[in-house]
Amino acid sequence: MHFAAPFPYFLTLSVTLSGVSAYPRHDSRALVCYENNALRALERFSSVAATFCPKYLSTTAVAVPTQFADIQTTAVSSACSCFEKTAGTLTPTIATSSAPTATKTPTTSATPTTKTSISSSSSSTSTSSSSTSTVPTVVATGGNTSGKRGLVYDYTSKTAYGNMFIGASHISFGSNWNSQRAIGSSITLDNSFTFVPTLRVDGGLNNNNWVSDATAAINSGSKWLFSSNEPDNAGQANLSPQQAAQVYKKYMNQFQGKAKLATPAVTNGGGSTGLNYLGQFVDNCDGCHFDLINIHHYVPRSDLTVDQAVSALKSYIENDVPALQAKHSQLQGLPIVIGEFFLTGASQAEGGEYLQKIMPYLDGKSTIIGYQAFGGLWTGSFITSDGNGLTPAGAAYKNN
């Protein structure tokens, strides 16, 4: 998560997206759990969280484990409450040495664009051995290619959630921060949506499934390949620009001409993160081929109104990204994919209003060829708490 300027805030990345407001409060209302970085950090190190959270919820006078040191203090309690609520139904993820978390400083902008970025899934876990074999022949077939919108899902989603969007003319693809469409044996995305794989590497910067998985996705209709997910976020891919370049050269470049290759998806943080990080990555990735610029953009409702949040994203697209492109010839003229974005901490009504106001711009902007609202296929986000319908945001995403 990140924040951008003129606001003098300093947010931890893993605070994520919610800054403070995206986290549920302990009050008379039902607990709503958002899949943000704080909760994901607990899920990622589930065995540690299982011991820590009960103690922390009974008394905050408990040392926070180093794995969660970057979760904002005000978010620990609600994240733990959500973890306690959902832990029994979640499949723990396995973290590698490249998946800790870090802090982000605000970027500056001419407009009140608070830039927070939240991550959803660590792209630092995967298989351990490398694969640099010749890319198999790919023959693209099938897949819905109409519409700019995509569906974000993960192991907490249900196939039924994605099925609610079948037939939506604006939605054509989906991704899950992994390289395979199905997650385990029960969660997948309907074949009417094109699946876009994401490159994840282990602590040794290897992934021996990527070539076969990416090839399978292309054969199933995918026209894009996503590279590292938020490498500038220590809670996600957590790679230096040099490491991200090494990974890109090894695994992405070989698919040039087979699919459109996206730059690593960076947060909208400041300092050495966000677009500054992306610039450093490009400088280190000599000989790399890019077809798309993948960005993430989050702003907190606690700091911006719905209209200000809409203006913030527009300004980022109109001003910040072009400023980066002007400095790097390899990026000039490339279209943009917004891999994740949302107004965090918004009520369900505000989430729907935000999408209704920003989507006409995104759909009509020729330089944007795809976007995924991070509300996605989780209850309390696009899916109602009972799991049987769509929230205002979900309905807007499907129908507007």
Q: What is the pLDDT of residues 338-375, one digit of tens each?
A: 999 999 999 999 999 999 999 999 999 999 999 999 97
The candidate with the shortest Cα–Cα distance to 355, out of 334, 370, 341, is 341
Kindly list the structural domains of the chain, giving each domain's residue range(s) and its CATH number in brackets, ordered by start.
11-89 (no CATH), 109-399 (3.20.20)
Token pair, residue 197, equals: 């794989």
- Cα 60 to Cα 53, 54, 76, 194: the distances in Å are 10, 10, 9, 45
Instruction: Determine the pLDDT at residue 149.
Output: 98
The candidate with the shortest Cα–Cα distance to 84, out of 24, 27, 125, is 24
With contact defined as beta carbons under 8 Å apart, do 334 and 367 qualify?
no
The secondary element (H helix, E strand) that includes residue 12 is strand 11-12
Instruction: Determine the pLDDT at residue 63.
Output: 87
Q: What is the pLDDT of residues 115-170, one digit of tens each?
A: 333 333 333 333 333 334 444 444 433 344 469 999 999 988 999 999 999 999 99
The structure's pTM equals 0.69
Strand partners, 94: none
The candidate with the shortest Cα–Cα distance to 259, out of 302, 208, 217, 201, is 217
Q: What is the spatial distance between Cα 312 and Cα 339, in angstroms, rounded to a whole number?
A: 16
Instruction: Determine the pLDDT at residue 312.
Output: 97
Instruction: Quote the DSSP letter at residue 67.
Output: G
The candidate with the shortest Cα–Cα distance to 161, out of 399, 382, 346, 400, is 382
Strand partners, 144: 193
Instruction: Determine the pLDDT at residue 74.
Output: 66
For 106-257, where are the E strands, in sequence order? 149-152, 171-175, 194-195, 224-225
C-alpha of 228 from chain center? 10
The candidate with the shortest Cα–Cα distance to 164, out of 390, 2, 396, is 390
Token pair, residue 28, equals: 């008379």
**Sign of the CA dihedral with 334 first, then 336, 339, and 340 last:** positive
Instruction: Determine the pLDDT at residue 42.
Output: 76
Instruction: Determine the pLDDT at residue 86.
Output: 53
Full DSSP string of 86-130: HGGGSPPP---TT----EE--B--SS----B----S-TT---SS-
Instruction: Determine the pLDDT at residue 13.
Output: 29
Residues of the chain predicted below pLDDT 50: 1-34, 88-145
Instruction: Determine the pLDDT at residue 77.
Output: 79
Token pair, residue 269, equals: 């943080």
The secondary element (H helix, E strand) that includes residue 298 is strand 293-300
- Cα 383 to Cα 48, 158, 165, 348, 389: the distances in Å are 29, 10, 11, 10, 6
Tokens 């390899």 appear where? Answer: 330
Instruction: Determine the pLDDT at residue 37.
Output: 63
